[in-house]
Amino acid sequence: MDSKRILVIGKSKSGKVTFVKALTGTLPSGLNLTSNETSHAGLSHEYTLKNKYFQKEVGLWIDEYTNLEETLEAYASEDAKEVINAIGAIIYTFRSYEPQEWSLWNTFSENLKNPIPIVGLHMDTSSMVVPPDSPYLEYVAFFQTGKNEFGEKLGLERVLEIFDCCEWDFDSNENVSEDFVLPGKDSSMSLDDSELNALVNQVKQLRGSDLDIQERKKQAISFINSLVDERFQESDLN
Amino acid sequence: MGIKFFLLVSRQGKVRLAKWFYAVPTKERSKIVRDVSSLVIVRKPKMCNFVEYKGEKIVYRRYASLFFICGIDQDDNELIILEVIHKFVEVLDKYFGNVCELDLIFNFEKAYYVLEELLLAGELQESSKTNVLSAVLAGDAESEVDAQQDTIQKLVGNVKKF
């Protein structure tokens, strides 16, 4: 399996395993069915993502937290960079909506270098909320069915739609620009405005200086040396 | 001037289509896309479909999980742009058959063909959905014929080698 993973994360008894069962049809291996108190952190499962364009085996990781702030700090740290890069989508399950947690997820998603779609999956059937919208954090009520006023699917079907549109390959260009830009100049050779202005000012100063010709030659050579990698000499011009 | 730019942005902020009808540097394009996307995505369903942005008007409409966003001048008619957006969506729907975001991801070039048949220099150049669809389908038929000819030529080439 060489595709990214889905991270299913939530508090204890927030509906993580319920979601995994609904998604895959089976329970994760290693799940302790005898005890309700066992943490589900560290469980993994497999899911086959199928649509009319592709079929992909996507792994599921299950994680559990007691303190969301600490958990998100850990995920956002340098040590967890590889883990974050291996995640294609995050499903955050909850039974009761907590504005503080929602805000923490919002901040986390905004600070990610490469945005990951995060779904706040409300597993409770008795209440519906309308949390503040944000680009990378979407609220989905798990038990809803049908379509909303925009013709958008609801519930688990919406989650499947989000999965279909995620990037699951590791070799996809993470830094692709929003626009389809033609291959152009090598970026290492591009200069921004401030650098260009500094160079032009240096040239002007050299031209306008009152130094004697030998001194100006020395300054010109040191200026050219700062531009090229090799040591430039006057004899190179011959 | 008509439409200055036409963007298709998903609910997650991913740009699925971006067409610019005036010259603007790449950095500024990225900034406009970022600003406009974040402006539009967080708007509530009951809010107006027209927003002001840096002296221009942004006209947007949401279809399922996709936001169709156009930038126009202050003097332009926003309601007509809403109609243009709807026309584009109807043609896409007819072309792809119950279009979804996945169709636009995997066939983005077809979405551009449809847009280019519909709009020229930011103005509506063909108001008939049938004509737009016929032009795009004719283009598809031509490229299929070309592909078949290429295949036949390759086969003939391979046969000759033996």
> What pLDDT, on a 0 to 100 scale, did the predictor assign at position A182?
46
Q: Which CATH class is domain A5-164?
A: alpha beta
| Spatial contact of A89 and A119, defined as CB atoms under 8 Å apart | yes
Average pLDDT over chain A reads 81
Ordered by start, the domain boundaries in chain A are 5-164, 179-237
Using the predicted structure, report yes or no on whether residue A237 has a pLDDT greater than 80.
Answer: no
B89 contact residues in A (CB cutoff 8 A): none
Average pLDDT of the residues in A195-221: 74
| pLDDT lower than 70: segments of chain B | 1, 162
Model pTM score: 0.78
Question: Residue B46: which region, alpha, beta or left (left: phi > 0; alpha: psi -120 to 50)?
Answer: alpha
| Token pair listed for A147 | 């379509």
Nearest-CB residue to B62 (from A52, A150, A158): A150
- Chain A, residues 110-129, CB within 8 A of chain B, namely 115, 117
Q: Is B37 on the interface with A (CB under 8 A)?
A: yes
Residues of A in contact with B29 (CB under 8 A): 178-179
Cβ within 8 Å of residue A94, ≥6 positions away: A10, A11, A14, A15, A101, A120, A121, A122, A123
> Which of B7, B9, B12, B19 to substitute to test the interface with A, most A CBs within 10 Å?
B12
pLDDT band (50, 70, 90) for residue A186:
very low
The 10s digit of each residue's pLDDT in A8-45 is: 999 988 999 999 999 999 888 876 666 666 777 888 99
**B44 interaction partners in chain A (CB closer than 8 Å):** 133
Q: Which of A115, A151, A180 sits opposite B63 (nearest CB)?
A: A151
- Stretch A176-195: mean pLDDT: 50
Chains A and B: how many Cβ contacts under 8 Å? 67
Does any CB of chain B come closer than 8 Å to the CB of residue A133?
Answer: yes
pLDDT top residue among A126 and B117: B117
**Could A179 and B62 be called an inter-chain contact, meaning their C-beta atoms sit closer than 8 Å?**
no
What ipTM does this complex have? Answer: 0.85
Residues A216, A209: contact at Cβ < 8 Å?
Answer: yes
